[in-house]
Structure 1
């Protein structure tokens, strides 16, 4: 079985948790918790956020961890507090209310079958456009097609400390092309920029850098990547959610 950690530290302009946004009759985070429970592959569910969130959802999760600092810091701190290094952990955001249990189950099962340390879902633009034509997402052109990323990550907690620290370095270098080139290689960046880089090459680069067995999982469930971060997204979700 897999544990789950929901990252719910984002707040609105009034300091209220975005996870408590009401969509129809439920808080946004409740849809995510419901999907995790219904997946049949999750053992315990933990949430990291502020006390206002804890007061609302503490009775429907297995543990609450007060958020502090960056996303990567919250991931490291939460994994330490959970203290279970024998089972993988599924990290997800609280803003994907359209996700269903079958999508989570499919993703986790495929990661388990491949024996991964790190699994990350990618979504083909054609799939998203066919199912949700009005959705606007940020896409990256690869050799095989055009993809966007999902809002969940499967990770072996034993590698999380090293992975998050290296991820922080990449985030720090994102506006420093020279340093980023030194880390990733200029040939790699050029092929990525021109949209001719194969997904497998990205996987190899990440696995080598982070010293893990990882893979990009092409999921058939675009809901994994359809997050709510602006007013228009709420109208979209209300249209499709049941």
Structure 2
């Protein structure tokens, strides 16, 4: 397997975080699950999967202390997730695995399978799970579904930047992120034809990836995981209850 670095996003959105408060921590990444912080669980998983270098993006002082305790590198947050990932990619280089500190259930085997299934000619790949797979693993979970012609899909907070060309996707992400409150501007970037195909559910998952990749000037791939719990992160208090229940079984 090709050696890779790992980047963990642990930034703050500003203001009080209801999930952190619910979990009794000053930051979501510091919530404890079975005696470990969520950040420690994620850093441990990427290392066990073979990451040769691990960096965490956070400007929170207590998270920075935890990063130091874990022996990872601390990187400052940029103005938004896309710019933070770009800065991290430039610092660490590629191949680069990107995930989040709230990926509480992350397992090394999920990462290993993701990298093994990544098409060899892809510049960037994204891990997704089919709705049936997710609901079989975690009945009753409420996820955000991407509803496409070939089914409902959930992202799994795992991204692989195979080479430096993949930074083109980050540039597109940054443009869309900047216009997230102005849908007409987003339509201009993505193209009205693509949005209409999505709204009418005539856009398939791999077709969407190919079209977005073409816009970014990269070869983008989609990897479907057989592990339904890979889509579970801690975005809301109910998610924390779920991961606590799952890990206590």
TM-score normalized by the length of structure 1: 0.89
- The question of whether the paired residues in 1 share the 8 Å contact of 2:124 and 2:221 is answered with yes
1:120-179 CA deviation, whole Å, 9 max, x = no partner?
011100111111012100112212111111111101351354322221212233443433
What SS does the aligned partner of 1:241 have? helix
Shift of 1:79: 2.3
Give unmatched runs, 5+ long, in structure 1: none
Q: Which residue of 1 aligns with 2:225?
A: 219
Report which stretch shifted further, 177-186 or 193-202: 177-186
- The question of whether the paired residues in 2 share the 8 Å contact of 1:9 and 1:48 is answered with yes
Please state if 1:60 is matched with 2:65: no
What does residue range 1-242 of structure 1 map to in structure 2 within 5 Å?
A: 1-10=3-12, 13=16, 16-39=26-49, 41-50=50-59, 51-82=61-92, 84=93, 87-111=94-118, 113-241=119-247
Shift of 1:210: 0.8
- The question of whether the paired residues in 2 share the 8 Å contact of 1:79 and 1:157 is answered with no
What SS does the aligned partner of 2:55 have? strand
Q: How many residues align?
A: 237
- The question of whether the paired residues in 1 share the 8 Å contact of 2:135 and 2:228 is answered with no
What SS does the aligned partner of 2:11 have? coil
Q: Which residue of 1 aligns with 2:23?
A: none
Counterpart CA distance in 1 for 2:226 and 2:70 is: 28
| Cα distance change on mapping 1:187 and 1:163 into 2, 3 Å | closer
| Cα distance change on mapping 1:103 and 1:80 into 2, 3 Å | same
What SS does the aligned partner of 1:171 have? helix
Give unmatched runs, 5+ long, in structure 2: 21-25
Counterpart CA distance in 2 for 1:221 and 1:53 is: 29
TM-score normalized by the length of structure 2: 0.87
1:190-239 CA deviation, whole Å, 9 max, x = no partner?
22112221123212211211111111111112232211122222211111
What SS does the aligned partner of 1:114 have? coil
Counterpart CA distance in 2 for 1:66 and 1:183 is: 29
